[in-house]
Chains A and B, each alone.
Chain A
Amino acid sequence: MDAITDVFFDYVPVRTFWRVLLFAHFAVAAALLAATTLQSVAVLMPVRQAAGNFVSRVRAAPAASYVKPITILYVLNFLIGSWVYVKYRTYVRIPMEQLSHWWTVGTFEFKEHVMTMGIALLPAYWYFWRQPLTEQYATTRKWLVVFLAFSVWYAFLIGHVANDFRGVGA
C-alpha cells in the first residue's frame, strides 16, 4: 500500500492525494447511494406500470438493471474506503479520541463491520439476481437489496460525520 502511494507522491502533494482519494470515495458513495435507493424503491414498492409523477416512474423501473452497477460500485468503494481508512486511523481517529468524540469513533467502528457484512453478501446478491429470477427467492432478493441499501446509507452518513470532523472542507 505504501509503495503505491509513494509513486503518486512523486507527482502529487501528499495532502492533495488524500483529499482527491477521499473525494473519489464520496463521489462513488453518492452514485452507490442513488443506485441502492432506487433499487430498494423498485423492489419494496413495485408497480406494474409507470404513470404520473417521478416517484411512480422510479417504482416501475426494472430492479434487476441496478445489480451490475451496484456490485461494481460497492467493490470499488470498498477498496477506496479500505485505502483511505489508513489515513483515518492515524490522522483522524487519534484527535477524535483526544477530543473525546467517542460516539463518532464508535459509530465509525460499526461502519467497518456493516460494510464487511455487505461485501460478504455481494456474491449471493449477484447470484439471486441472475436471470431468470425465481419467484421462490423473491424474499431473499428483497432482503439482500434492503441490507445493502442500509449498509450504504449508514456508511455514507457516518462517513460524512467523520469527514466533517477532519476531512475535505472541514
Chain B
Amino acid sequence: MTQTLDVHQGVSQLDRAPTTAAPKAATAEISRAGIFAIAFGISFMLLYTVFERLNWPFFTYHPAVGKLDFWMQRPRSGEGPPMYWYGWLVLSGMTAVVVSAIATLLPRPWLYRATLFSCVLAALWPALLAAGTFVADQVSFDAELLKSIWLSGIVALVAAAAISYLASAQWVQRMWVSWLWIVPVGGLIVLGYSLKTYFVR
C-alpha cells in the first residue's frame, strides 16, 4: 500500500505541477491559435443553429440515389428522403473558419464586443419573434405586424447594438470564453424545442 501511494503521489504531483507552478501562464493572453479555436467553437455552434432553423444546407444529399444537389432541395418523387445535415455542417464549418480567421485579426476589445453582439442578436431575434407571435395570437385587435420577422429583427438588432455598446469592457472580456458553454446550451434548447413535434404526437 505504501509503495502504491508513493507512485501515485508522484503521478498526481506531475499532473498538477503546471497548474500551480506557472504563475506567468495564469495571466497570459490567449494566443492567436486560441482565439481561432474559441471563435470557431462559438461561431460554428451559433451558425449551425441558425442554418438548421432556416434550413440552409450548403448541399442536399439524396442517399437512396446517391445524388448531390447544391443548396436546399425538397424531396422528389422516386429519389427517397433528402439529407440536409451534411449541408448544414459544411456551410457552418466554412463560415466559422472565415469568421474565426477574421477574429484573429480584430483588436481584442472589438472581438469581445462583436461576439457579445452576435450572441445577443442570435438570442433576441427568435425570442422577440416568438413573443410577438404569442401576443398577436392572444389580443383581440389586429396585431399581425408583431408576427413580422423583420420587425423583430430590427428591434433585436438595435437592442443587441445597445447592449454590446453599453456593457463594460471588463465584463465583455470576462464573458468571452463563457460563450463556449452558453451558446451550445442555448443552441440545444432552440434545436430541441424545434423537435417538439416528434414528442407530442
Residues of A whose CB lies within 8 Å of any CB of B are 1-2, 47-51, 57, 60-65, 82, 85-86, 89-90, 93-94, 100, 102-103, 105-106, 109-110, 112-114, 116-117, 120-121, 123-124, 126-127, 131-138, 140, 143-144, 147
Contact = CB atoms under 8 A, between A and B. Distances in A.
B180 A143 contact: yes
A132 B25 contact: yes
B155 interface: no
Given A62-B12, A124-B37, 19 more contacts: A48-B12, A50-B4, A50-B5, A62-B11, A85-B83, A89-B63, A102-B201, A105-B198, A106-B197, A110-B195, A112-B85, A113-B48, A120-B48, A123-B40, A124-B180, A127-B34, A132-B18, A134-B25, A147-B181
B12 to A, nearest CB: 5
Chain B facing A: main interface SS: helix
Contact of A136 (B8, B27, B41, B86): B27
A140 B180 contact: yes
Contacts of A144: 180-181
B81 A89 contact: yes
A135 B88 CA distance: 36
B15 A116 contact: no
Contacts of A116: 45, 48, 88-89, 92
In the complex, which range does the number of interface residues on chain B fall in? 35 or more
Given A50-B4, A134-B22, A127 B89 contact: no
Interface of B: 1, 4-5, 8-9, 11-12, 14-16, 18-22, 25-28, 33-34, 36-38, 40-41, 44-45, 48, 52, 61, 63-64, 66, 80-81, 83, 85-86, 88-89, 92, 96, 177-178, 180-181, 184, 187-188, 191-192, 195, 197-199, 201
B131 to A, nearest CB: 24
Given A120-B40, A134-B25, A135-B26, A90 B81 contact: yes
A158 B45 CA distance: 21
Contacts of B8: 49-51, 57, 60
